[in-house]
Amino acid sequence: RNYINLNSTGRPLLHEHSIEVLKQNDFGGYTVPALGLYPFQWNWDAGFIAAGWAAFDVDRAWEEMETLFSGQWADGMIPSILFWKASDTYFPGPEIWGTKENPSNSTGITQPPIAGVIVRYLYDCTARTNRRLAQQKVSKLFPKILAYHRWWYKARDPLNTGLVAIIHPWESGMDNSPAWDEALHAFPVDDIPPYEREDLKHVNASMRPSKDTYDHYLTLLYRFKAANYDPEKLYWMSPFRMTDLCTNSVLFRANRDMRFLARMLGKKEEVREINTWLRKGKERFQWLWDMDSGLFKCENQLTGKLSSARISGAFLPLFAGVASQDQAAALASNLKLWIDEVKFGVPSADPAGPVFDPVKYWSGPLWININWMISSGLRHYGYNELAEKIEMDSLTVISESGLREYFNPRTGEGAGGESFSWTAALYLAWLD
């Protein structure tokens, strides 16, 4: 609780501590999200983590992204987890997933595609001192990221609607978000092999998804495995198919950043291709706008209905830059109401809603990576005071409770994993 103390150079001690955490979680070319709890490289964690490395070692930041892309599948997908080195502290690990893709074992699903946003961020950091190096780095990663985006549209929007689907809650990064409750429980659990959860050995069960929820996660996993993770089949066969706000906002924003990079590299055809994605995506995003609540909502593609859940992903179209000025105003006033209900924003679910739980993972707690994106979106629309409030809340909970995985928005108490990489990384990125 004395993190706020200053060291001899006048920097908060937490600054040094955050650097130490990234170094301690560095497994050589990639950074694990948390020792024990998450002992591999995760797709979107790698992006946020790279933004943190960039604050003190920009070469290492590029390396994080290069390692991630060295695990890209031949079809363009970046898996949600790359199992670079064996570990028996995580379930479900490589032996359960059983994918055969080289060069590494991985999961057979993906995560929100933040890479394009981060590579542009790293480009900006590097170009300040060495534009030529920045361009070299970008030209190597650009085609790989583009292939990843193409994969998203081909595999996850075969009907060409403009927005992509996730087929597993793990793909959203917001595993037990209330937005998935109805859709997840609309299909029965299969007769799956018995399993032992490793997460509950690291973290209290009240802070993690329930057994029933895990049974559903594994039912989906085993069905995808039986289909050999064939992307042509998965979209059609999955009993869970959602238009997720977070994934689509991140993809949209990544497309904007990729357009910037494409222009910088003089890639005209690619600019045209990205423009088509942006145009269609913008149009389709309007389907997700719920006028009554003044929020965006996720859509269940199997029923055609918007989910009634009010989640923090509702504010991420601000990060995408896809909301109209009127929608941004409605979102900002809703966000103020949510923050008034708690002590520190942004809760991952509406604190006045029926399922809000301040310590249960993605059903209420405050998450630093989401705050980072929401505050950036608010600034984009000119809501600077609200952005400042979210940034200060983030820095305050971190100073008071340490580099935890997530935080109770009512009390600021930390929960989940400790010495958590993206919390450390974004703390550094914010202070930079």
Active-site amino acid positions: 175, 405
User: Pairing relation of β-strands 242-243 and 289-290?
Assistant: unpaired
Q: What minimum distance in Å lies between the beta carbon of 319 and ligand 2M8?
A: 16
Q: Which is nearer to ligand 2M8, 108 or 162 (CB)?
A: 108
Q: Examine residue 93 and tell whether it contacts ligand 2M8 (CB under 6 A).
A: no
Binding flags for ligand 2M8, 44-63, as an x/- string (CB under 6 A): xx------------------
Q: How far apart (Å, rounded) are the C-alpha atoms in residues 422 and 403?
A: 9
Q: Return the structure tokens found at 35.
A: 């020792």
Q: Which is nearer to ligand 2M8, 289 or 406 (CB)?
A: 406
Query: What residues contact 266, with CB distance under 8 A and at least 6 apart?
Result: none
Q: What minimum distance in Å lies between the beta carbon of 26 and ligand 2M8?
A: 15
Query: What residues contact 91, with CB distance under 8 A and at least 6 apart?
Result: 195, 196, 197, 198, 199
Output helix, strand, coil percentages for the chain, rounded to the nearest 5. Answer: 55, 5, 40
Q: Which is nearer to ligand 2M8, 66 or 198 (CB)?
A: 198
With CB under 6 A as the contact rule, the residue among 41, 80, 255, 401 that binds ligand 2M8 is: 80
Q: Which is nearer to ligand 2M8, 173 or 317 (CB)?
A: 173
Q: How far apart (Å, rounded) are the C-alpha atoms in residues 310 and 190?
A: 29
Query: What residues contact 327, with CB distance under 8 A and at least 6 apart?
Result: 289, 294, 296, 317
Q: How far apart (Å, rounded) are the C-alpha atoms in residues 245 and 404?
A: 25
Question: Within 13 Å, how many C-alpha atoms sit on residue 137's CB side?
Answer: 25
Q: Examine residue 38 and tell whether it contacts ligand 2M8 (CB under 6 A).
A: yes
Q: What minimum distance in Å lies between the beta carbon of 112 and ligand 2M8?
A: 8
Q: Examine residue 33 and tell whether it contacts ligand 2M8 (CB under 6 A).
A: yes
Give the amino acid at 151.
W
Tell me the residue length of the chain.
432
Residues between 166 and 185 with contacts to ligand 2M8, criterion CB under 6 A: 170, 173, 175
Q: Which is nearer to ligand 2M8, 224 or 277 (CB)?
A: 224
Closest-CA residue to 46 (of 30, 35, 27): 30
Q: Examine residue 257 and tell whether it contacts ligand 2M8 (CB under 6 A).
A: no
Supply φ then ψ for residue 347, to 5 degrees: -65, 145
Name the strand (E) or helix (H) holding 332: helix 325-341
Residues touching ligand 2M8: how many (CB under 6 A)? 9
Point out which span in 40-48, 259-267, 325-333, 336-344 binds ligand 2M8 (CB under 6 A). 40-48
Q: Which is nearer to ligand 2M8, 175 or 391 (CB)?
A: 175
Q: Which is nearer to ligand 2M8, 7 or 204 (CB)?
A: 204
Supply φ then ψ for residue 38, to 5 degrees: -130, 85
Q: What minimum distance in Å lies between the beta carbon of 131 and ligand 2M8?
A: 32
Q: What minimum distance in Å lies between the beta carbon of 8 and ligand 2M8?
A: 33
Cβ atoms of 318 and 295 within 8 Å: the answer is no
Residues between 319 and 378 with contacts to ligand 2M8, criterion CB under 6 A: none
Q: What minimum distance in Å lies between the beta carbon of 24 and ligand 2M8?
A: 16
Alpha-carbon torsion angle 404, 405, 410, 411, nearest 10:
-10
Taking only Cα atoms into account, the Rg of the chain, rounded to an integer number of angstroms, comes to 20
Q: What minimum distance in Å lies between the beta carbon of 166 and ligand 2M8?
A: 12
Site of interaction with ligand 2M8 (CB under 6 A): 33, 38, 42, 44-45, 80, 170, 173, 175
